[in-house]
A and B are shown apart, each in its own frame.
Chain A
Amino acid sequence: MSTLTSSPSESTSASGLRALVERLSIPNPATVGKQLLLPLIGILVFLGFWHLAAPQVNTSLGAFPGPVQVWEQGGQLWQEHSSQRDRADKFITMQEERNQRILEKDPDAEVKIRPYPGAPTFIDQIGTSLVTVLAGFVLATIIAVPLGIVFGLNRHFQAAVNPLIQVFKPVSPLAWLPLVTMVVSATYVSDDPMFEKSFLTSMITVTLCSLWPTLINTSVGVAAVNPDLLNVSRVLRLSFWTHVRKVVLPSSVPMIFTGLRVSLGIAWMVLIAAEMLAQSPGLGKFVWDEFQNGSSQSLSRIMVAVLAIGLIGFLLDRIMLLIQKKVAWNE
């Protein structure tokens, strides 16, 4: 009896599991092995080559760092960050305690809350860069997608602005930067600024350089909507907004996302360059400072930053890909 009842449930749970595995698209272990093995071999060969070649390259700051030194510096940077954090925490608790005491004595007293004055660590710089790049990218998207839709819908408009796009698209961030800096410092005057000027400068430069792929792809995607679907929309007499929302936008989502991914990649590259040049806080500044520092560890620390920049760029692209898979209908 018990075997009779248990066997169907077993089979359903097994099939349920299989369905789950299929849904998560976990391939069988052999293919996973193959898929992991080759990249792993590639990485190991690269590390080996790096390890052997690095000592041969001599610079004024000593030999080029190999993987081992870079790994050590990575740990070092992390440690600096943790100890800095501890000190900051202590500073904050002490400040709070002191304020509490003052308030106990005199409830109307004005207490000062000061942020921790220590220099930003490597990890802090990563955080700053990430926030800046995301802000710039979001702003670029907010500008580029609606504009792209307008250009894609209206051929005359497109013809009018196309030369401008073609001219501005290839402009390097380094050329924009001085202009943006001057304009920001001239126009963004406020006693209690919500944003740092350096943040705004970096962000706007990122926006200016990264909005083009999204703009172009959106307009191409919108202009390429299947004419049959446009006819359906006309037969149904969809209003302009319904037409855009229900037909044009969904149809061009795959193209828009291709553009967004390119834009985010550009945004990240541009940001590092802009931070280096403008000395605004972020990973770029970290690299520049280390370069100016010129200690024996500088090259290793810069190398850590290089790897971190690459890894973050890769992760950002992966995240966009995940979002694309969630949103786009053709994935």
Chain B
Amino acid sequence: MSKSHLELTGVEMAFDTPKGAFIALDNVNLKIKKGEFVSLIGHSGCGKSTVLNIVAGLLQASKGGCVLDGHEVNSPGPERAVVFQNHALMPWLTVYENVELAVQQVFRKTMSKQERRDWILHNLELVNMAHAANKRPGEISGGMAQRVGIARALAMKPSVLLMDEPFGALDALTRAHLQDSLMEIQQELNNTVIMITHDVDEAVLLSDRIIMMTNGPAATVGEDLHIDLPRPRNRVTLADDPTYVHYRQEVLKFLYEKQRKLETIKPARAGKAEQQEKREEAQAARA
């Protein structure tokens, strides 16, 4: 246990913008143990996705870096599977073929055809989607597509599973259901998971640790909260468990007192109205 499984050290991320460099992250340090379930929480735009993309290798930190099992991360790879916010399934492939594309790529050399087939179906069953194996993403609901996205990521046997608001676009019931299955799967496979969320309850219920990020620009890790709740966890009994409520309050305090967003809702609205106007103008111009 001398070295951690995944380590971010002194990560700075500067984006080139027309107005000059924009420092999104500044000095982010994070150590994650194997099998840990970590949630990233913070206000919109603070840089959560940026952190995740750096771990995924989709973005390259401008300073500092990310080390996984002793190797520096500088390009994406299937051992760091990503579940994207909008499922990101290929719309022209069936559910089965979407998972197959990943399995084919990762286990081409190590599995026989039959083994790959079984492995694809096994992962679809894990998320309860085997029944829709031959449907296209356009023919299934958002929640189902998200589950396929998770199955595809799990099928890569990743050592780290990265999830960017995986349940953000789902209704409360589907979300609860998927959270429960995710907990079960994670218990079973003991993957390391980094999940971005906006949902305080989701973070407390699922995580071993909650990383709270300060507001950007130059965001960094604000607080690191360890959640010592026994597993398996049950959302109903936990709801009025004092420790659970305490953790929940800690996160809420961080988000709404320490890192309160000072923007009022008005400018955002005005911005939206403006955008709407622009869109209408563009449409009129096209017509």
Nearest residue (CB) in A for B98 is A232
Contact flags B79-95 to A (C-beta < 8 A → 1, else 0): 01110101010111100
In chain B, positions 48-107 with a C-beta closer than 8 Å to chain A are: 56-58, 75-78, 80-82, 84, 86, 88, 90-93, 101-102, 105-106
Q: Assuming A229-B88, A231-B76, A232-B88, is B101 touching A246 (CB within 8 A)?
A: yes
In the complex the two chains form, what is the Cα distance from A235 to B155 in whole Å?
13
- A228 interface contact, C-beta 8 A: yes
| Consensus secondary structure, chain A interface | helix
Q: Which of A229, A237, A247, A251 contacts B78 (CB 8 A)?
A: A237
Please give, as numbers and ranges, the residues of chain B lying within 8 Å of A229 by CB-CB distance.
Answer: 88, 90
Mask for A151-191, Cβ within 8 A of B = 1, else 0?
Answer: 00000000000000000000000000000000000000000
Closest CB of chain B to A155's CB: distance in Å?
15
Interface residues on A, range: 10 to 19
Residues of B within 8 A of A228 (CB): 84, 86, 88
Is the CB–CB distance between B92 and A235 below 8 Å? Answer: no
- Min Cβ gap B52→A in Å is 11
Question: Once the chains are docked, how many angstroms separate the CA of A226 from the CA of B106?
Answer: 22
A236 touches B91 (CB 8 A): no
* Chain A residues near B78 (CB-CB < 8 A): 235-237
With the chains together, A96 CA to B78 CA distance in Å? 70
Cβ of B248: which chain A residues have Cβ within 8 Å of it? none
Q: Which of A225-247 contact B (CB under 8 A)?
A: 226, 228-229, 231-232, 234-238, 242, 246-247
Q: Is B34 an interface residue (CB 8 A)?
A: no
A251 to B91, alpha carbons, bound, how many Å? 8
User: Would B76 and A234 count as touching, CB distance under 8 A?
Assistant: yes
CB contacts (< 8 Å) of B198 on chain A: these are none
A-B contact count (CB 8 A): 55
Check A330 for interface membership: any CB of B closer than 8 A: yes
* A235 and B80 in contact, given A246-B101, A329-B136 (Cβ under 8 angstroms): yes
Whether A226 lies near B88 (C-beta < 8 A) is yes
Contact with B along A238-272 (1 / 0, CB 8 A): 10001000110011010000000000000000000
**A246 contacts across to B, CB distance below 8 A:** 90, 101
Knowing A246-B101, A329-B136 are in contact, say whether A235-B82 is a contact too (CB < 8 A): yes
Cα distance A141–B93 in the bound complex, in angstroms: 25
A226 to B84, CA, bound (A): 12
- A230 CB to closest chain B CB (Å) equals 9
Other-chain contact of A238, B58, B82, B86, B105 (Cβ < 8 Å): B105
Partner of B102, one of A234, A236, A250: A236
A249: min CB distance to chain B, Å: 10
Q: In the assembled complex, which residues on chain A have CB atoms less than 8 Å from the CB atom of B75? A: 234, 237
Closest to A231 in B: B58
**Cβ of B108 to closest chain A Cβ, rounded Å:** 11
A248 to chain B, nearest CB (A): 11
Shortest CB distance A235–B (Å): 5
Chain B residues numbered 110-156 whose CB sits less than 8 Å from any CB in chain A? 136, 156
Q: Indicate if the CB atoms of B101 and A231 lie closer than 8 Å.
A: no
Contact, CB under 8 Å: B82 / A250: no
Between A and B, 6 residue pairs with Cβ closer than 8 Å are A234-B58, A234-B76, A236-B101, A236-B106, A247-B90, A251-B92
Beyond contacts A329-B92, A330-B92: 15 other A-B pairs, Cβ-Cβ < 8 A, are A226-B88, A231-B56, A231-B58, A231-B88, A232-B88, A234-B58, A235-B56, A235-B80, A235-B82, A236-B78, A236-B156, A237-B76, A237-B78, A242-B105, A246-B101
